[in-house]
Amino acid sequence: MRLSAVALCVMLLVAGLTAFAQPQTMTLEQAKNTALERNLSVIQAQNINDAAGSGRLAAYGRYLPWLGGSGSWSRRQVEGPTYIQGVAIPGSNTKATTGSFSAGLSTSLTLFDGFSRESNLDRANSTFSQDNLSVIRTRQSIVFQVESAYLNVLRLEQLVKVSEENLKRDRRQLERITESNRVGALSLADVYRQQSQVAVDELAQINAQNDFDKGKADLVALIGLDIAGEFAFADPTVTGSIDSVDMATTRVKYKNLVDLTRRALVARADFQSFKVGLDAAESGVTSARAGYFPSLSANAGVTVNNENFGNLFDFKSFYWGVQLSWTLFDGFGTNAAIQSAVAIKRNAEITLAQTERSIGVEVKKGLLDLDAAMKQYEVSQKGLISASEDRKIAEERYNLGAGTLLDLMTANAGLVNAEANLVNASYNYIIAKRNVEYVLGERAY
């Protein structure tokens, strides 16, 4: 019984360690959700938006009255002789100590400040909207980056499999050539040549595996995970095989450049952010012009004071009134502020126009990349079929003695290249399709 208990504990410990050593598998959706929670760019954008919310609250606060309180306490001691008709009486030194307590409460309310409060509130609201739109676009950007990096990892994994299969195929070929040489059917030169090819395949496999590992490291860092952790990336919903129906549907869906550009201008959060920024710049001009207007405020307060704290409220003083102030000349300071605000507004208009142009270019380039990716996939499919048949024929001819090993190696290299081209074309198409979705900016996260 004791031995069984010990054996059970050992089994549980081994199972726990095995489970702990297993890499965590993440799907594409899990990777995107994790990145939205842990990516530093998303967190920074959200922090800026939170700060803008505080600024908007402060802008609303300028419509509320200002309230302040004060209090003080002091002691005063006077020492000196007593004087009679200007003559000090000897030995008549006295000390007099007095105290003073005071407290006050005051308030003021701005009634008019040349529309400075209104423009400041508009600018604060615009800034908050800008930062909120920036958060949206940052989330879209991070999701697209994660999708691209995730698909790149899957692509590199497939290339590793291609190199591994090629290495296995050439090793089997080396075994056959070695056996044929042993019985005198093939020359020793073919053995050496195939050994050299296997060495090249091993190097290619090492490089492919290294690229795959580095791609995973980049993805892990982008998501915001611990780079020292072990993670595996697999998603059954993402496959490298492209459906011809899906490709035809995509062509129809993304064929109208003018309509797609218009949709992007409506949906893109960064473009809307620059439009809001123009509104903020206009509010800045209004705020700068406030220096030419008078300001009017109302104020009121109460103060209490006494020599004794217990009788502090025996003497009270109330005051209230309004105050009008108007700067008649400020050394052209207001004029300079207006000119600076107008320049900022003009630059905001230029930035908006440039952004509109850039979005149009991004949409067009995205469609061109998508069209090229479709054509590359179709050509790669045909190339793989041709390369497979070419290698099959070259292998049969070599086995029959009608072809050379060089012909077989050339055909095999063509097959490997065709397989890699198809893998690259498949994932390039998927990434290009998601890039079009990203430049349109219609997907929210």
d(CA 196, CA 178): 13
| Predicted local confidence at residue 84, as pLDDT | 72
Phi-psi bin for 105: left (phi > 0), alpha (psi -120 to 50), beta?
A: beta
Residue type, 284: G
Domain-by-domain residue ranges, the chain?
25-64+114-293+328-440
Domain at 25-64+114-293+328-440: CATH code: 1.20.1600.10
| Predicted local confidence at residue 19, as pLDDT | 43
For strands 231-233 and 24-26, give the pairing: parallel
Poorest-pLDDT segment among 39-48, 144-153, 312-321, 359-368:
312-321
Partners of residue 306 on adjacent β-strands: 101
What b/e string do you get for 76-85 counting C-beta neighbours within 10 Å, with b at 16 or more?
eeeeeeeeee
d(CA 267, CA 270): 9
Instruction: Give the other-Cβ count within 10 Å of 87's Cβ.
Output: 9
- Please choose, from the candidates 375, 379, 382, 371, the residue with its C-alpha nearest in 3D space to the C-alpha of residue 432: 371
| Predicted local confidence at residue 11, as pLDDT | 53
> DSSP letters of 51-113?
HHHHHHHHHHHTTSPEEEEEEEEEEEEEEE--EETTEEPTT--EEEEEEEEEEEEEEEEEEES
8 A C-beta contact, residue 296 and residue 112? yes
d(CA 377, CA 248): 13
Q: 112: exposed, middle or buried (C-beta count within 10 Å: 0-12, 13-18, 19+)?
A: middle
- Is a pLDDT exceeding 80 seen at residue 418? yes
d(CA 101, CA 310): 10
CA dihedral 26, 27, 29, 32 (to 10 degrees): 40
Compute CA 440 distance to the chain's CA centroid, rounded to the nearest angstrom: 17
Average per-residue pLDDT in the chain? 89
Q: Report the residue count for the chain.
A: 445
Q: Is 303 helix (H, G, I), strand (E, B) or coil?
A: strand
Q: Which two tokens stand for residue 427?
A: 């994932």
- Is a pLDDT exceeding 50 seen at residue 303? yes
| Predicted local confidence at residue 85, as pLDDT | 67
Q: 106: exposed, middle or buried (C-beta count within 10 Å: 0-12, 13-18, 19+)?
A: middle
For strands 316-325 and 295-306, give the pairing: antiparallel
Cβ contacts of residue 308 below 8 Å, gap of 6+?
A: 99, 101
| Predicted local confidence at residue 92, as pLDDT | 64
pLDDT tens sequence across 137-148: 999 999 999 999
- Is a pLDDT exceeding 90 seen at residue 270? yes
d(CA 124, CA 342): 18
Indicate the pTM of the whole model: 0.81
Q: Give me the residue label for tokens 């020599």.
A: 307
- Please choose, from the candidates 289, 321, 316, the residue with its C-alpha nearest in 3D space to the C-alpha of residue 109: 321
| Predicted local confidence at residue 16, as pLDDT | 46
d(CA 431, CA 33): 19
pLDDT tens sequence across 5-62: 544 454 555 444 444 457 889 999 999 999 999 999 999 999 999 888 888 888 899 8
8 A C-beta contact, residue 254 and residue 367? yes
